[in-house]
Amino acid sequence: FFFQAEDGIRDAQESRGLGDVYKRQIQGMGFNAIWISPVIANTNKGYHGYHGKDWYQINSKFGSEQDLKDLIQACHEKDIWVMFDVVANHVGYVKEDFSDSSPFNKSEHFHPQCQINPEDFGKNQWKIENCRLANLPDLDQDNQQVRQELKKWIQWLVTNFNVDGLRVDTAPHVPKIFWKEFTEAAGVFTIGEVFDGRFDYVSGYIGNLSSVMNYP
């Protein structure tokens, strides 16, 4: 379940009204948490949230930064936990000089361009971690500026919005050790998307992330 309004949330009262809706509809089905699609500002065609452009700006579809805070507070008041979906592997389709990406706006913030091909999955982990998925510019977590900025950003996101957990996108496309540092920086529960059918491969990410999604 995710929330992304067409015109944003208009005020705190509306946010609390949505909290009442969530309590009736979500808790009524036996759930006690919601999972929200990525909230950062995206490139033009990134309606889904996975094509980040400005990591410290909130997608206007969620209203203002305060609107989103009010929504989360309203959920907490109804005993509903909130999980954010986050992406730390790539940015959206930005200019090739990366000048319209923030804060990752230099070529050294990214791996050299190469493409992940369908036949690479399950056979070439180096390409999975270092090349582009769907031609999305691939962040280089071995670059210390990128590494520290991602950890700084996730600390800001969690503390600023008081979220309870994180669903981590494209986990196999980033070295495992980074996810351990990322989870420690976040300070909340993390569950990784390891989209693979091999039990031994998927389970290898547990410990670096709090958990993984049950794809096998």
Buried b (16+ CB within 10 A) or exposed e, 43-66: beebeebbbbbbbeebbebbbeee
100 catalytic, yes or no? Answer: no
Euclidean distance between CA atoms 150 and 154, whole angstroms:
6
Euclidean distance between CA atoms 41 and 52, whole angstroms:
6
- Pairing between β-strand 165-168 and β-strand 52-58 as defined by DSSP bridges: unpaired
Euclidean distance between CA atoms 155 and 190, whole angstroms:
13
138 catalytic, yes or no? Answer: no
Query: Looking up tokens 């980074």, which residue turns up?
Result: 178
Tell me if residue 123 falls in helix, strand or coil: coil
**Which residue in 70, 140, 169, 196 is the catalytic one?**
169
**Which residue in 67, 129, 140, 193 is the catalytic one?**
193
Query: Looking up tokens 């180096």, which residue turns up?
Result: 126
| Residues annotated as catalytic (active site), given as ranges | 169, 193
